[in-house]
Structure 1
Amino acid sequence: MNSSPLHSVSVAGVTVDDQGRVLLVRRRDNGQWQAPGGVLELEERFEGGVVREVLEETGVRVEVERLSGVYKNLSKGVVALVYRCHPIGGTAQPTDESVEVAWLTVEDALNRMSPAFAVRVTDALNENVVPPGSRAHDGHTLL
């Protein structure tokens, strides 16, 4: 019997446009507003996974700027690497994975998200955090 803990690795992209708006999705599976992202595939590099996930969930092509934070959902064993990105093409639109896709002001974006996911946007917008911080949450609340 293997007693090692099992973890999943996910990636997400906090995409900020030239007007300072943030690209968010309302997820089809749980109805929550979040930065687009998902599980990293075995053969993917982190940045490639972010580019793929943002495109799949929003229709927007992005370029990764930098790692902005590392987060762990303690209740689900999910470790998420979140990257700040900027758009380079495509059109924001709902997909199979997102009910809504929207460019939102930072204030509106933060008001729509639970604290565990809003902090990802706050951290991505903070240019002074080097290296990026790490945080833990229970799926909703920062711990």
Structure 2
Amino acid sequence: MPIPDFVVALRSKIGHDPLPLPGVVAVVLDNRDRVLLVRRSDTHEWALTTGCLEPGEQPATGAAREVWEETGLHVTVERLLAVEALPLSTAPNGDQIHWLCIGLLCRPTAGEAHVNDDESVEVAWFNPAEVPALPPHQARCLELALAADAPAWFAEPELS
């Protein structure tokens, strides 16, 4: 996966130490409510389209950019699904990341879904009942996208 230039610049200063990064999870549903998944080239697991926001980039713009980059589809963003801070993760190169994930529901407006970059090896539409296991935060976003009246999800504040 290509690492954004701004992250490379930050990593040159902080090494592998934990870095908070904003990311998007795009749930793309077609007019039959099939969900678009990509098979990641790094893990070979199916996933929703995800990516890191660029500095100053609005989440909806970032979600639409990531979907186009990975699948060749142009989308419109319809609504916020979830905002979630994920547990600290470690990338294969040792970089530690605190992701703040913003889930958004998207609908295709133009293009045909296909592998459009080196981040995935396969792209396919799935009926919701046939979606392979997804990470918990992605599964939550998909569930919220399929429920038309669901409010945006966030973790309840922890009281001390």
TM-score range, shorter chain: 0.7 to 0.9
What stretches of structure 1 move > 6 A for 4+ residues in a row?
Answer: none
The RMSD of aligned alpha carbons is 1.8
Check the 8 A contact 1:54/1:60 in 2, yes or no: yes
Query: In structure 2, the residue corresponding to 1:42 is in which secondary structure?
Result: coil
Q: 1:88-131: per-residue Cα shift (whole Å, max 9, x none)? A: 0111111311111011100112x34233422221122222222x
Structure 1 residue 70: deviation in Å? 1.3
Matches within 5 A, 1:5-84: 6-76=19-89, 77-84=98-105
TM-score with structure 2 length normalisation? Answer: 0.75
Bigger radius of gyration among the two: 2
Matches within 5 A, 1:113-132: 113-130=134-151, 132=152
Number of residue pairs matched by the alignment: 130
% identical equivalent positions: 37
Check the 8 A contact 2:51/2:66 in 1, yes or no: yes
Check the 8 A contact 2:79/2:105 in 1, yes or no: yes
Cα distance between partner residues in 2 of 1:112 and 1:99: 18
Cα distance between partner residues in 2 of 1:123 and 1:32: 21
Ranges in structure 2 where 5+ consecutive residues have no aligned partner: 1-17, 90-97
Query: Which moved further from structure 2: 119-128 or 81-90?
Result: 119-128
TM-score with structure 1 length normalisation? Answer: 0.83
